[in-house]
Structure 1
Amino acid sequence: MKEGYIIREQGKAHFVTATVVDWIDVFSRKSYRDCVIECLDYCIKNKGMILYGYVIMSNHIHMIIQSNVAELSNLLRDFKKFSAKTILEKIQNEPESRREWMLERFKKATESHSRNKNYQFWQYGNHAEEIYTEHFLWSKLDYIHMNPIRAGIVSNIEDYIYSSASNYVNGTGVIEVELLEIPKVDVLKPSSFEKYISQ
């Protein structure tokens, strides 16, 4: 992991990116996106995860998270281990046209690391950035929610199901998140922040 992304303040909220090995588009399938949602839900209910925002893209996820029980590094390790195991089982046991190709890539990724014997699903490291100001917090949440628009998937942030944008805009989502208090002043560009302050 790069030195700049080491989690030094384990109790603080962080913006985290987790990327699939070789940027494989695993999450183009709903089944695997649902696995991530189930794993996040489990960590919220059983591991002390506080999830403030997230988005699941085709080959990576972004989250703003905090741990209220254990060290954040350990929580992320457990989330990645649990989600990788669950998704790999689905790839191996359910209909998947890309099975052999994906498993070959995940197997090859273990050659440079000794931690995983059979398959490596997530890239090592979490690209974790500590949330140190309110401005940084909201800029990262905005970045998360704008991902599907930048990718050309949807026109409105709240229309992408696998994101916390609908939690903030409509008050509901596929998973509950810890809603952040809307700041009193615009800390983002007015155009992207408009939907938040109109509630």
Structure 2
Amino acid sequence: MLLDEVYFWTDTIKDWTKIFSIDKYKIIVIDTLRVLVNRKKIVVYAFVIMPNHLHLVWQMIALNGKEMPYASFNKFTSHQIFKDLKLHHFDILSYFKVSDGERNFRLWQRDPLAILMDAPDKLEQKIDYIHLNPLQERWQLCEKPEDYEWSSAMFYEKGIDNFGFLTDYRDLL
């Protein structure tokens, strides 16, 4: 990923474990995005948090220290979720055990999907995909995109930013 480019990003939980069925872990994701936006490291145009993965349309605008903001996002969310699992859900922690020499536990699968949004129609198609994701037959999490609490659909449908960090993608066009 390059600074100042807009990407469609998919981050998946190791082994597709449905860790985001627990709302407090979705809140960690939201809070981390908010911090990175407030620190002017990223711009978030659209997102959805699904039970075992998330999609974002975002832009890295400045390094976070020496690393790209997505790396900080993955490290911080992993750390916070593992900290809570150790305290409150120790039995679930074993799902994330690894022995890869780098670490003992891994939350996010390696190599998230990053697709450069280099055309307006591609950008709009990915944002529609994000907002329709909770309605897919596999998930059936809501009946209308704006009814799903953990996405930016309400922002685009009704102009309500319940998260305090969204930027309208049409500002790019």
Q: Normalising to structure 2: TM-score of the pair?
A: 0.90
Tell me what 2:58 maps to.
65
Tell me what 2:94 maps to.
104
Distance 2:5 2:171 in 1: 19
Report SS of the residue matched to 2:112.
coil
Which residue of 130, 143, 158 corresponds with 1:144? 130
Distance 1:93 1:42 in 2: 24
Tell me what 2:68 maps to.
74
Kindly indicate whether the alpha-carbon contact (under 8 Å) linking 2:3 and 2:62 is maintained by their aligned counterparts in 1.
no
Report SS of the residue matched to 1:144.
helix
Distance 1:183 1:89, change over 3 A: closer
Structure 2 counterparts to residues 116-155 of structure 1, below 5 A: 116=103, 118-150=104-136, 151-155=139-143
Which residue of 156, 168, 174 corresponds with 2:156? 168
1:134-153 residue CA offsets vs partner (Å, 9 max, x unmatched): 00000000000000111211
1:126-165 residue CA offsets vs partner (Å, 9 max, x unmatched): 1100001000000000000000111211111101010000
Q: Which has the larger radius of gyration?
A: 1
Report SS of the residue matched to 2:111.
coil
Kindly indicate whether the alpha-carbon contact (under 8 Å) linking 2:50 and 2:134 is maintained by their aligned counterparts in 1.
yes
Runs of 4+ in 1 over 4 A off after TM superposition: none
Kindly indicate whether the alpha-carbon contact (under 8 Å) linking 2:43 and 2:166 is maintained by their aligned counterparts in 1.
yes
Identity %: 28
1:33-86 residue CA offsets vs partner (Å, 9 max, x unmatched): 111111111111125110000000000000001012128x71111100000101
Report SS of the residue matched to 1:128.
strand
Kindly indicate whether the alpha-carbon contact (under 8 Å) linking 2:60 and 2:68 is maintained by their aligned counterparts in 1.
no
Report SS of the residue matched to 2:56.
strand
Distance 1:146 1:177, change over 3 A: same
**Matched residues, number:** 168
Kindly indicate whether the alpha-carbon contact (under 8 Å) linking 2:20 and 2:49 is maintained by their aligned counterparts in 1.
yes
Distance 2:172 2:19 in 1: 35
The gaps in structure 2 that reach 5 residues or longer are none
Kindly indicate whether the alpha-carbon contact (under 8 Å) linking 2:3 and 2:61 is maintained by their aligned counterparts in 1.
no
Alignment RMSD (CA, Å): 1.9
Kindly indicate whether the alpha-carbon contact (under 8 Å) linking 1:162 and 1:174 is maintained by their aligned counterparts in 2.
no
| 2:15 maps to 1:22 | yes
Kindly indicate whether the alpha-carbon contact (under 8 Å) linking 2:62 and 2:68 is maintained by their aligned counterparts in 1.
no
| 2:43 maps to 1:50 | yes
